[in-house]
């Protein structure tokens, strides 16, 4: 792989640090008036999602990480792996439960996700920002309670539990923002 | 602002310009210091300069390749008198400001329990590797100390103006050195930090031309080893020192950074019409 020098560091650049792929979040030049320049860099470890801060000498270089994001369609889960397909090439990739992570609770077959590949293997999965899912379990709806602010937990077809307004019933399809886990609205009712 | 030579500092890069068909090289000043010292040697008395200075490759939240420096000299004053005056200047702009003063050694004793002037190089390198990375494992005394100061001490300095004096001899630059109360050879250089941002750098000026010439030669050697472009020594400055620079103290203050602090701005581009990324 190529190397990047600190003067090429910019947010989004993927580099290797202590054996793990990391994404640069911030890069700040620190230079005492008479002293040597260095860079204070904030990075996210893409394996653990942890944010760390690291100091590099200006001009120092680090190895680029072979990390790329690709839009892929979620196909199925075979019990051990979650299978994703590149829509253009039909190439399939098997993601571990660890790589799928929190995306697990939002994924329906055929959803288009962003799969982050590291050395060609799925490292993490980002679900679509909005998904439409059916409520499979919730307390019976309270009719006429549409104006009141209260809510109740509802279990969705993928297993996620979100807070929904009291008037909703099982079998209804709702729209959820996967970034916040918040209910956005009712899509249809059966 | 333009000169045929520039500083030999190992960590300051000058911006070179090319003049005429034969592309004669000259440099934008990194500070007005050398010109001002020539005026002082010629008998100017106390002087100040408010103007532009340029440093190559310095761009960021607190850096811009073109910036404004306020630099002034007081004849017959030592660095402590000048620090007091610097404090008074800041107080006129920020009347409620807290002012604290520490020696460089005091701060290293507090945060590292180490004597920065006498500690073994290996123990400084070990601390620098912890604070930075293995890239500092064989670095110089000055670089290790700079890293420790910038990364560990500076962010923990108190609000307001903090004056730090008696810098290590290895970072003397153009300050004279002396033996402190504990017999350590330290430089009569100081720095000022405003709300944890480096604001000013000052010296009880070195007037010994021969000592200055040998420091310049050391700088040149260090630049060569580091693979940095060679810089000629400013012979006009050395001649001025030979002819006699009066005892004086001088300080250079980053005006844009001062504005940034007065305005509560998060970065220099908020107090400059055209910061580097807009040029």
Residue pLDDT, tens place only, B82-93:
999 999 999 999
**Inside any domain, residue B143:** no
Share the mean pLDDT of chain A.
90
Q: Which residues of A touch B64 (CB under 8 A)?
A: none
**Inside any domain, residue B205:** yes
- The ipTM (two decimal places) reads 0.86
**Inside any domain, residue B125:** no
**How many angstroms separate the CA of residue B42 from the nearest CA in chain A?**
27
Assigned CATH class of A3-63: mainly beta
**How many angstroms separate the CA of residue A50 from the nearest CA in chain B?**
19
Domain extent at residue B241: 2-98+158-278
User: CA-CA-CA-CA torsion for B65, B70, B75, B79, nearest 10 degrees?
Assistant: -80
Say whether B135 and A29 touch across the interface (CB within 8 A): no
pLDDT at residue A14 tops 90: yes
| Residues pairing with B99 in the sheet | B161
Give the integer Cα–Cα distance in Å for A15 and A43.
9
Over the stretch B165-206, which tens digit does the pLDDT of each residue have?
999 999 999 999 999 999 999 999 999 999 999 999 999 999
Q: Taking the domains of chain A in order of start, what are their residue ranges?
A: 3-63, 67-126, 130-188
How many residues in total does chain A contain?
A: 190
Residue B87 CB-density burial (10 A; 0-12 exposed, 13-18 middle, 19+ buried) = middle
Helix (H), strand (E) at residue A165: strand A161-165
Residue B9's pLDDT band (cuts 50, 70, 90): very high
Q: Given B63, B135, B173, which is nearest A31 (Cβ)?
A: B63
What CATH number is given to the structural domain containing B55?
Answer: 3.30.930.10
Q: Which residues of B touch A30 (CB under 8 A)?
A: 150-151
What is the DSSP track for chain B? -EESS----TT--PEEEEETTTTEEEEE-S-SHHHHHHHHHTT--SEEEEEEEE-TT--SSS--SEEEEEEEEEET--HHHHHHHHHHHHHHHSTT--EEEEEHHHHHHHHHSS-TTTS-HHHHHHHHHHHS-GGGTT--HHHHHHHHIIIIIGGGSPSSEEEEE--BGGG-TTB-EEE-TTS-EEE-EEEEEETTEEEEEEEEB---HHHHHHHHHHHHHHHHHTTPPP----HHHHHHHHHHPPSEEEEEEEHHHHHHHHHT-SSGGGS-SS-GGG-
* Total count of domains within chain B: 1
Task: Check if the beta carbon of residue A13 is closer than 8 Å to that of residue A41.
Answer: no
| Predicted structure pTM score | 0.82
**Inside any domain, residue B136:** no
Per-residue model confidence (pLDDT) at position B11: 94
**Inside any domain, residue B134:** no
**CATH domain A67-126 topology:** OB fold (Dihydrolipoamide Acetyltransferase, E2P) (2.40.50)
**Partner B, chain A 43-62, Cβ-Cβ below 8 Å:** 54-57, 60
Question: How confident is the model over B131-139, as a mean pLDDT?
Answer: 93
* A3-63 and A67-126 agree in CATH topology: no
**CATH domain A130-188 topology:** OB fold (Dihydrolipoamide Acetyltransferase, E2P) (2.40.50)
State both tokens at B59: 């761009």
Task: Check if the beta carbon of residue B158 is closer than 8 Å to that of residue B100.
Answer: yes
| Alpha helix (H) residue ranges in chain A | 97-100
Give the integer Cα–Cα distance in Å for B249 and B203.
6
């Amino acid at each position: 792989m190529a190397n990047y020098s600190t003067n090429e560091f910019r947010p989004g650049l993927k580099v290797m640090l202590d054996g793990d792929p990391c994404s640069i979040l911030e890069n700040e030049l620190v230079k005492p008036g008479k002293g040597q320049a260095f860079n204070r860099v904030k990075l996210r470890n893409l394996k653990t999602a942890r944010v760390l801060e690291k100091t590099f000498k200006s001009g120092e270089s680090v190895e680029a990480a072979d990390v790329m994001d690709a839009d892929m369609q979620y196909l199925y889960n075979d019990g051990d792996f979650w299978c994703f397909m590149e829509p253009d090439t039909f190439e399939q990739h098997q993601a571990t439960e660890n790589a799928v992570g929190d995306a697990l609770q939002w994924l329906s077959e055929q959803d288009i996700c962003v799969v982050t590949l590291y050395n060609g293997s799925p490292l993490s999965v980002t679900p679509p920002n909005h998904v439409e899912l059916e409520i499979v379990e919730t307390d019976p709806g309270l009719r006429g309670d549409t104006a009141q602010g209260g809510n109740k937990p509802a279990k969705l077809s993928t297993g996620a539990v979100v807070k929904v307004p009291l008037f909703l019933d099982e079998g209804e399809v709702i729209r959820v923002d996967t970034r916040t886990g918040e209910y956005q609205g009712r899509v249809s009712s059966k | 602002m333009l000169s045929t030579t520039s500083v030999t500092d190992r960590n300051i890069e000058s911006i070179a310009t090319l003049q005429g068909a034969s592309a004669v090289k000259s440099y934008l000043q990194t500070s007005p210091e050398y010109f001002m010292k020539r005026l002082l040697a010629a008998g100017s008395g106390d002087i100040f300069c408010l103007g532009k200075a340029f440093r190559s490759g310095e761009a960021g939240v607190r850096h811009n390749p073109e910036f404004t420096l306020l630099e002034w000299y007081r004849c017959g004053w030592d660095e402590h008198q000048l620090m007091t005056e610097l404090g008074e200047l800041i107080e006129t702009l920020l009347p409620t400001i807290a002012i604290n003063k520490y020696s460089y050694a005091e701060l290293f004793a507090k945060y590292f329990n180490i004597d920065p002037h006498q500690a073994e190089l290996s123990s400084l390198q070990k601390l620098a590797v912890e604070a930075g990375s293995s890239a500092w494992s064989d670095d110089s005394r000055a670089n290790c100390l700079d890293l420790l100061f910038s990364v560990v001490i500076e962010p923990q300095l108190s609000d307001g103006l903090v004056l730090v004096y008696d810098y290590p001899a290895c970072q003397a630059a153009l300050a004279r050195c002396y033996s402190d109360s504990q017999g350590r050879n330290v430089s009569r250089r100081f720095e000022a930090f405003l709300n944890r941002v480096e604001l000013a750098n000052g010296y009880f000026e070195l007037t010994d031309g021969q000592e200055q010439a040998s420091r310049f030669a050391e700088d040149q050697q260090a630049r060569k080893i580091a693979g940095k472009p060679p810089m000629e020594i400013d012979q006009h400055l050395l001649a001025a020192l030979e002819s006699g620079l009066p005892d004086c103290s001088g300080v250079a203050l980053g005006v844009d950074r001062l504005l940034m602090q007065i305005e509560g701005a998060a970065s220099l581009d908020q107090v400059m019409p055209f910061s580097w990324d807009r040029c």
